[in-house]
Structure 1
Amino acid sequence: MSGRELTLLDRGSVELLGRLPRSSNETFLVQVSCGDDAAYAVYKPEAGEIPLSDFEPGLYRRERAAYLLSESLEWGLVPTTVIREEAPLGIGSLQWFIECDFREHYFTLYADAPETHRHLSQIALFDYIANNTDRKSGHVLRGLNGRVWGIDHGLCFSAAFKLRTVIWDFAGDPIPDALLEDIAPLAEAAPPGVAELLDDAEVAALQQRVQRLLHARVLPVDRTGMRYPWPLV
């Protein structure tokens, strides 16, 4: 996170540039600008959401909650994300756009870039904590500077266990002690900013998932072989 990113996302004027393809909900590339400074962002308005039976409207809140969770852990896995009420199509999330080679995704990074494995396994841990229902391969990016990011967290934090992800290559691996220390406070309480965006049952379930991780000390294993999103990429 940087002051520039927050300033542009929080206060910048928002100009719609176009709809991003292959998104389940309406998702837009926008330009945010303050004076002579401008940058790209991804805008997900509540008005563009397809109604779901298992998630209440307002998925943008979960996008923000995932960012705040990552920041509270000091992991920096999720691009800067804010909620904007005054935006072209109404309230929604604005997320900093990551410049990257979009031919790369989780499967290519795992196969061709072993130097990313530590960060990929960290995303797997993050997704279990957040109960990510939709970690497709294309939701993992590597920025032009080599940094690995996770995006698209609208379907996270359900109270019911719904984990679906393509990141199972690290299943059963020990969780490093440093990461266990990072997540330990979550067993007692969710960060205030995260808790404000979720309901009580979702907060309690997050704490319980962390408690299980602290007991097991290994990355989760899918014994059903069915916890995959579709499409995979």
Structure 2
Amino acid sequence: MTETTGSGIDLNGPVAKELLTHGRLEVEGRLVDASNVTLFCKIELDGLVGNAVYKPISGERPLWDFPDGTLAGREVATFLVAQASGLGAIPPTALRDGPFGEGMVQLWVDTLEDELVDVRAPGELPEGWRIVLHAHDRMGEPAVLAHADHPGMRELALLDVVVNNTDRKGGHVLAGIDGRVYGVDHGICLHSEPKLRTVLWGWIGEPIPEDAVEKLVGLRADIDGKLGEVLAEHLTGFEIASIASRTEQLLDSGVFPAPSDGRDVPWPLF
């Protein structure tokens, strides 16, 4: 299935890459719910117009556990890992100059209003949804955090393990109009220390599908080759080695992992 932006541009094609890397950005608004400065932009090149998200490095909020000024590069590195492996769908992402200096630019993908992750009463879950945790609502009634069972979400769950995603909220999983499931907002990924926090825990202990195993095998080999060289522009050698280690652990176990002790879901959840 062809992936497109709202203007009908094939996300896998050279035109999209040219637009992303060389298009002129015009800020049209700010996404106010984001913790870092996140700007919605029109992007234009030679009469071709689309939309993009732009996160300038100058607008990154300092974090105690991630080096300052590295979040944009981590977004790009996560896209490169997904692109090289074919594991999960992330909109095309680049590190480039913009109206407020260098930052992460990501092509906008039109999405459906379908909820893929939600907190609901147990009896209100759609058929086939996976329960992540049980809780109670403000009135003391039973509630569950759950998500849809979709092949694209299973791959995002594996990608989260590989890139050590520290903040896979429900709002970071989007239903594209092309039928694919997209992951966005990967600024706090790829730390060398275990920090996995995600809402996509619905397949714990289940075998990793054969097609995903093949992608993990290819990823592990690519880290020692061209992908590793490209990632070195954004990550330390230790962080790159940690990607290889996490990939090997998945291949050795052959199953979706369980959470380790401690905090294993982000907060807030959305």
Q: Normalising to structure 2: TM-score of the pair?
A: 0.80
* 3-state SS, counterpart of residue 107 of structure 1: strand
Match of 2:235 in 1: 198
Q: 2:177 aligns with which of 140, 144, 151?
A: 144
CA contact (8 A) 2:75 2:185 kept: yes
Partner in structure 2 of residue 65 of structure 1: 77
Q: 1:212 aligns with which of 228, 249, 260?
A: 249
The letter of the residue matching 2:71 is L
- 1: CA distance between counterparts of 2:265 and 2:156? 15
Structure 1 window deviating more from structure 2 (179-188 vs 30-39): it is 179-188
More strand by share: 2
Residue 151 of structure 1 aligns with an amino acid whose one-letter code is: V
1:158-177 to 2 correspondences below 5 Å: 158-177=191-210
Q: Which structure would you say has the larger Rg?
A: 2
Farther-moved stretch of structure 1 (218-227 vs 75-84) = 218-227
1:67-216 correspondence runs (5 A)? 67-75=79-87, 77-85=89-97, 87-102=98-113, 104-107=115-118, 111-112=125-126, 117-187=150-220, 190=223, 191=227, 192-216=229-253
Q: Distance in 2 between the 1:82 and 1:224 partners?
A: 35
Whether 1:20 and 2:31 are equivalent positions in the alignment is yes
What SS is found at the alignment partner of 2:118?
Answer: helix
- TM-aligned CA deviation for residue 74 of structure 1: 2.2
Per-residue deviation, 1:2: 2.1
Structure 2 unmatched ranges of 5 or more: 1-11, 120-124, 129-147
- What is the SS of the residue equivalent to 1:44? strand
| Aligned mates of 1:231, 1:160 — CA distance in 2 | 22
Counterpart secondary structure, 2:36: coil
Q: Which amino acid aligns with 2:95?
A: I
Does the residue aligned with 2:166 lie in a helix, a strand or coil?
coil
From the two aligned structures, give the one with the greater helix fraction.
1
The total of aligned residue pairs comes to 230
Percent of aligned pairs with the same residue?
37
Q: Distance in 1 between matches of 2:153 and 2:203?
A: 9
CA contact (8 A) 1:189 1:207 kept: no
* Shift in Å, 1:188: 5.0
- Superposed CA deviations along residues 97-133 of structure 1, whole A, max 9, x for unmatched, are 111135634338xx54858521111110000000000
One-letter amino acid matched to 1:37: L
- Unaligned 5+ segments in structure 1 are none
TM-score computed with the length of structure 1 as normaliser: 0.92
Regions of 4+ moved over 3 Å? 111-116, 185-189
